[in-house]
Structure 1
């Protein structure tokens, strides 16, 4: 067993989430994490910060169908793609999440650069969440600069600044550095969640497991029984970022 180390009561707890737009398990995992946080009366203690992790840096800039992107990345046939999509669609819908099979696919580097800018303004998670929600609902093409700028404005960011970033190479090194840091911490894919630089959880965990992680770094919810630990998670010993 690893000794439980928690933040002082009421102290801010930083949660870093390495993710990529088109990852359906990231979509599900983000919502599960938010549910686990919302179940705590001290939910405002937790600061979720997005970190960039391109799953496919060589993906084309031009739009293509997700079926074509899936087959190029994983092999198989259209039937294999549809089976995988319907499985995760059922899981997402079972948790109350919209999930359209009619989504575009393209390189996500530009979006990651915009999320870096949003993070500097304290709006990284808000922007990424709204973009990903619209993307999986089939109501948003995040590869359209105007559409992305519109979402940015809706969360309090400068839409014109978003267009400028997309037309340049700003934040490129930070996107690459995020991915390298995630790999160094043990990420082999996404979602990859690091809490308080002490505990790392790969994959889309269930809500109760995220609850265990929150308790581990922030202490138990007052008046509630202590949750059991889950040894699938890596324990880190790192300085704060």
Structure 2
């Protein structure tokens, strides 16, 4: 549940996005959300904040082919994996997005820790988007520390700081707290978007759907009430 609150006209709108790097629906949803925001004349009012949500907290640390991870998690065969992947691939291609079937899968906990750092520097959404775009395009391995540091530097972040984070446990509690808070707000999976703690959007909405949510969140004061 999300608590409604009043929204002063013209003020900033906090857009919290619970997501996981390897989630294909998050990949599609992020692009739709960005498109919906870009269509608004007041796009600069929306402050996107990435929130961590591991879909599989028990995923192995060592990267493996995404097919292997899919079959272990969902069961079935290579044919089942390819059918599911090609469906989302066709949808992504239809929206102008690259989507490689040759990807790796592993625990995303450390990636979320680095995204927390990026968020503290005001680069969370940009860094996450660059990382996810490259991952689904099949052009980078996000589980490689040098690659991760390079993407961070391209986003204006400190690559050495990224290496220090990966070598320690900084931001670990924040990553765990994000997932717990998302569950408390009603997230059963990701993407899960909450705008100004007034309206929530589970799943990858259409561009028009995100547009309606942005309009609702940007509106003036409304009566206090609870919404799912």
Residue deviations 1:63-120 (CA, integer Å, cap 9, x gap): 1000000011111111010000000000001000010001111110110000011111
Other-structure match for 2:9: 9
CA contact 1:26–1:191 (8 Å) conserved in 2: yes
Other-structure match for 2:28: 28
Q: Is 1:109–2:109 an aligned residue pair?
A: yes
CA contact 2:10–2:45 (8 Å) conserved in 1: yes
Other-structure match for 1:184: 184
CA contact 2:100–2:137 (8 Å) conserved in 1: yes
Q: How many corresponding residue pairs? A: 220
CA contact 1:19–1:50 (8 Å) conserved in 2: yes
Other-structure match for 1:65: 65
Residue deviations 1:144-191 (CA, integer Å, cap 9, x gap): 000000010011100000001001111111000000000000000000
Unaligned runs of 5+ in 2: 221-225
What is the distance in 1 between the residues matched to 2:5 and 2:170?
38
CA contact 1:5–1:217 (8 Å) conserved in 2: no
Residue deviations 1:207-233 (CA, integer Å, cap 9, x gap): 00001101111139xxxxxxxxxxxxx
What is the distance in 2 between the residues matched to 1:73 and 1:17?
24
Unaligned runs of 5+ in 1: 221-233, 237-241
Q: TM-score, normalised by structure 1?
A: 0.89
SS in 1 for 2:71: helix
What is the distance in 2 between the residues matched to 1:73 and 1:47?
34
What is the distance in 2 between the residues matched to 1:88 and 1:150?
28
Q: Hey, which bits of structure 1, 4+ residues long, moved more than 3 A?
A: none
- Per-residue deviation at 1:131? 0.1
Other-structure match for 1:235: 227
- Per-residue deviation at 1:6? 6.3
Q: TM-score, normalised by structure 2?
A: 0.94
What is the distance in 1 between the residues matched to 2:218 and 2:129?
23
C-alpha RMSD over aligned residues: 1.4
Matches within 5 A, 1:207-226: 207-219=207-219
CA contact 2:5–2:197 (8 Å) conserved in 1: no
What is the distance in 2 between the residues matched to 1:5 and 1:215?
15
SS in 1 for 2:209: helix
CA contact 1:6–1:217 (8 Å) conserved in 2: no
SS in 2 for 1:50: strand
